Amino acid sequence: MKLQDSSLLRRSSPLTVVLDGPDRVSITSPLGVFEFGREVMPLLAMFAGEMSMGAAMERLQLANSREWEASAEVLRQMLESGVLLPGVGSLTESAGVGFGDPEVHCRMLADRTRTNAYIQALQTLVVPGEVVLDLGTGSGVLAAAAARAGARKVYAVEQGPAAEWAERVMLSNKLDSQVEVIRGWSESLSLPEPVDVVVSETLGNQPFEEGILASLADAGRRLTRPGARFIPSAIELLAFLVQTPDSVQEDYGLDLSCLSEWSEQAGQRRGLAEPQQVRDWTFLAQEVALARVQSPWDGVWEGETSLQIDQEGRVDAVVMAFRAELSPENTISTCPFEASRDCHWSNPVYWLAHPIEVRPGQILRLHWDLRRNAQAVRLEG
């Protein structure tokens, strides 16, 4: 979302705010834990209700353009970290960007392996006459599948422009009496009845980055019957130690090792790679499970684990992937050797500033931190 004076923003919920010292504030949002300066405090108070960026800037009574730019940067960081959310009136501004872009939804639907796995899970788990909640319904395909699986009522929640098109999908398929599309954020809504099944496909390349854990946890606390089922029922975060193809140093016959210091000063280099591309890299150890999360969906953002090296080589990157269990018979995966050819997800790649030469049997310690303002891994021999 591009911020401008007319952009409407509101404070996320739940938030935990801790004063870490005279100039530091730690805020836990649905996306993780983030550090700010004390200047964040008046902004938090202003956006307790929906307000435009321009109105907030006026209330701050900023002295000059430099102060305006600094406050705008704090607002951008608050939005990226999930401390602030777009107001309902701002949703149409994001059309053509991110999940407001129809191309994004078309690409997800083209991942037939993913979509069919979700549909099969709904057919397995939904008992005729039950009530289903679809969090982040997007185009509405999964809400429609729940209705066709026999759900008496489906509440399909969508905060973006796709909500209008989900409503049209229901009308076109004569499902509008079963499926109610609700515009907004699930954390802010109440339902007229508890639900039996919660489904959500808000999985990112790093599976937790779109806020799925917070959404499922909130639904489990407030919106479900005892014994409700979740789709997915569990999410496993995985890591692989790899040697990527020959470096540019070898390509050009130059000693460019000093550039690693430059890279380290700039922060860890991160990127995305398609699973089909990653599977051609050299894997130096077995996959390691960093976290496995299931109901009550407590967030897992950092930790450390040990890995044993299987073959000699040079570890220069850590690749992440996930498995999501949708039902006893259905699992989707972005692991390089398991992902389908039509997989629309990519694998996050974290390159090491200083690659490590390794030998079979060697034990390494992997430290990982997926908080939005950290997003880093560290490997120690």
Residue 326 lies in a domain: yes
pTM equals 0.71
Q: Which pLDDT value is given to residue 261?
A: 61
195 & 127 share domain: yes
For residue 182, pLDDT over 90 is answered with yes
Q: Burial code of 61-98, b = ≥16 C-beta within 10 A, e = fewer?
A: eeeeeeeeeebbebbebbbebbbbbbbeebbebbeeee
pLDDT band for position 1 (cuts 50, 70, 90): low
Residue 310 lies in a domain: yes
Tell me the average pLDDT across 293-309.
Answer: 86
DSSP string, 318-377: EEEEEEEEEETTEEEE--TTTS-TT----EEEEEEEEEEEE-TT-EEEEEEE--TTT-EE
Q: Which pLDDT value is given to residue 258?
A: 65
Tell me the average pLDDT across 342-369.
Answer: 92
Give every CB contact of residue 83 below 8 A, 6+ residues apart in sequence.
11, 12, 15, 27, 29, 34, 40, 44
Q: Tell me the three state secondary structure of residue 312.
A: coil
248 & 227 share domain: no
Higher local confidence (pLDDT), 50 or 69:
69
For residue 292, pLDDT over 50 is answered with yes
> pLDDT tens-digit profile of 242-282?
998 854 445 556 665 665 565 555 556 778 889 999 999 99
Question: What range defines the domain where residue 303 resides?
Answer: 234-380
Residue 93 lies in a domain: no
223 & 239 share domain: no
Q: What is the CATH number of the domain that holds 319?
A: 2.70.160.11
Strands of 32-37's sheet in order across? 16-19, 24-29, 32-37
Tell me the average pLDDT across 223-240.
Answer: 96
Residue 308 lies in a domain: yes
58 & 110 share domain: no
Q: What are phi and psi of 188, to 5 degrees?
A: -105, 0
For residue 326, pLDDT over 70 is answered with yes
212-213-215-218 Cα dihedral, nearest 10 degrees: 170
Residue 247 is encoded by which pair of tokens? Answer: 């470096």
